Amino acid sequence: MKINNICCIGAGYVGGPTMSVIALKCPDVKVTVVDLNEDRIAAWNDNNLDNLPIYEPGLADIVGEARGRNLFFSTEVDKAIDEADMIFISVNTPTKTYGVGKGMAADLKYIELCARQIARVATTDKIVVEKSTLPVRTAEALQNILHNTGNGVRFDILSNPEFLAEGTAIQDLIDADRVLIGREDTAGGKMAAKALVEIYEQWLPEERILQTNVWSSELSKLTANAFLAQRVSSINAMSELCEVTGADVREVARAIGADSRIGSKFLKASVGFGGSCFQKDILNLVYIAKTYGLSEVANYWEQVIIMNDYQKRRFAEKIVKTLFNTVSGKKIALLGWAFKKDTNDTRESAAIYVADYLINEQAEIVVYDPKVSKQQILADLDALNSRSEEENRSLVTVVSNPLRACDDAHAVSIMTEWDEFVNYDWEHIYENMQKPAFIFDGRGLFENDYLKAIGFESYTVGKGSD
C-alpha cells in the first residue's frame, strides 16, 4: 500500500520536527500536522520562520522549504483525519495529576480522545501510528476503541516510538540510529508496517529499520529512556563522591568512557536531568512494574528519579551553604533555563527547581536564557504553586542581556550548557560582581583553573578540591 496522505495529530516537539523531516524526504506525500491549539498552529504558519513555536537547529530551513508544498499545519483535525491514509498520534502523555496512579502513571486521556475522534471521522481504512510514548499495551486500548466505535472501516495500529532528542532533533531524524516499528504478526499488521517502512526507506538504509511486536516496541521506548536517565543519575551519584574525595568527575567520565563496553555518551555530570521524557517515562515504568506486583523492579528504577531529585536539591543547597549560609536579599544570576542547550523547551528543567529553592531562601533571582521567554520562565515557576504569582514577579527578574544578569550579582550559576556562555568576557563579568564573586558551574563547562585565575570562587559539579 502506497501512502499518499499523512496526518499527524499534535504539533509539538515531536510531531512538528518529525513531520517536517518526513515531508522534506517524501515530497510526493502530503503531510498535514494538526493541533487543537490555534496559537501553536498560527506560529507554525508564521511567515517569519523565527517565530516557529519550537526552536530546534535546522528546523526553520526545512519548514521554509516544505511548508505549502507538501507540508501543512492546520486546526482542521476532522478534515485531515478523513483525508489521510496514515495517522500519527503525537499528542502529549503527561504524568497523571489525579486519581489512580496520580504522580506516576501516564495520563492517556488525549490519546483516547484522538482514538475516538479518528473512529468517529474515518470513512476509509487507516493505519494508525502511535508516536507518543505510551505504556506497554496501550495499542490494545486503541484497538478496542477504534474497532468498537468505528464506522466499520479497517484500522491497523503500529507503534513507532520517537527517539529524537531535543536540540538535535533534525539530525536524529535524518540520520537515525534506528527506527522502530511494532506491528501485529498478522497479514494486516505486516502490510501496515511495510507501508511505514517505505516512508522511512526514502532516506534511511533498510537495516536501520527494525520491526518487533507491538509490546516490545512500546516497552523499548520506555527502556531506552530509563537506561539513558540511569546513566545520568549514575554519573551524578559519582559526582558527589568525586567532590569529597578530590577526584574530578570529568576525568572519571573520560576514563570509563574510553571502555568500549561503557562508551562515552551520557556521562556528563550535571544539575540533574530534565526534559519532558525521562522523569515521566521512568515514573510510568515504575507504575507498570508495581501494577504487575514487581516491587523490586519498581524500586530499582525509582532510584534513578530519587537520585535526580537529590542532585537538583544538592546543587541549590551548595549555593546557599557557600554563600555563608544565607542568600536572603542576595542577587543570584541563573544563566540558562532550558533543560539542555539548543532548545527552548523548559519542561522539568533543573533550573526551575533550583530557582524555587533559592527563592524560598529569599534570594533575588535574575535569569537569562538565549531562547526561553520571560513569560515561559514565570509560568514555570507559577506552575509549582510555591507562592503567589505576584511574589514570583517581585523576586524574579528575567533579562535579555547576560551581562546585565550578572552585574552586581553575588553569584552566577550555570544551569544550561549553552555554547555562548563559554565565550563571554568573564573578566568583565567578574569586575562587575560583588566580591567574593562566586560561580557555580552546574554543567562542568569551565576548567576550574580558568575561573580561579580570574579571581572567582568557583564550584563545579563533581570536582573535588585538591
Q: Hey, which residues are catalytic here? A: 162, 221, 277
Q: Which residues bind ligand UDX (CB under 6 A)?
A: 9-15, 35-37, 40, 90-93, 110, 113-114, 132-133, 162-166, 225, 228, 232, 266-268, 270, 273-278, 339-340
Minimum Å distance from CB 141 to ligand UDX? Answer: 15
Q: Nearest to ligand UDX by Cβ — which residue?
A: 12
Minimum Å distance from CB 251 to ligand UDX? Answer: 15
Q: Which of 82, 72, 84 is nearest to 35 (CA)?
A: 72
Q: Which is nearer to ligand UDX, 273 or 331 (CB)?
A: 273
Q: Which is nearer to ligand UDX, 10 or 182 (CB)?
A: 10
Could you tell me if 279 and 308 are in contact, meaning their C-beta atoms sit under 8 angstroms apart?
Answer: yes
Minimum Å distance from CB 11 to ligand UDX? Answer: 5
Minimum Å distance from CB 239 to ligand UDX? Answer: 10
Instruction: For residues 56 and 58, give the distance between their C-alpha atoms in angstroms, rounded to a whole number.
Output: 6
All cell numbers assigned to 291: 501494577
Q: Which is nearer to ligand UDX, 93 or 392 (CB)?
A: 93
Could you tell me if 141 and 101 are in contact, meaning their C-beta atoms sit under 8 angstroms apart?
Answer: no
Minimum Å distance from CB 71 to ligand UDX? Answer: 16
- β-bridge mates for residue 441, sequence order: 414, 460
Minimum Å distance from CB 195 to ligand UDX? Answer: 21
Q: Which of 154, 105, 115 is nearest to 9 (CA)?
A: 115
Q: Which is nearer to ligand UDX, 13 or 446 (CB)?
A: 13
Q: Which is nearer to ligand UDX, 160 or 429 (CB)?
A: 160
Could you tell me if 77 and 34 are in contact, meaning their C-beta atoms sit under 8 angstroms apart?
Answer: yes
Q: Which is nearer to ligand UDX, 130 or 361 (CB)?
A: 130
Could you tell me if 177 and 208 are in contact, meaning their C-beta atoms sit under 8 angstroms apart?
Answer: yes
Q: Which is nearer to ligand UDX, 303 or 397 (CB)?
A: 303
Minimum Å distance from CB 269 to ligand UDX? Answer: 7
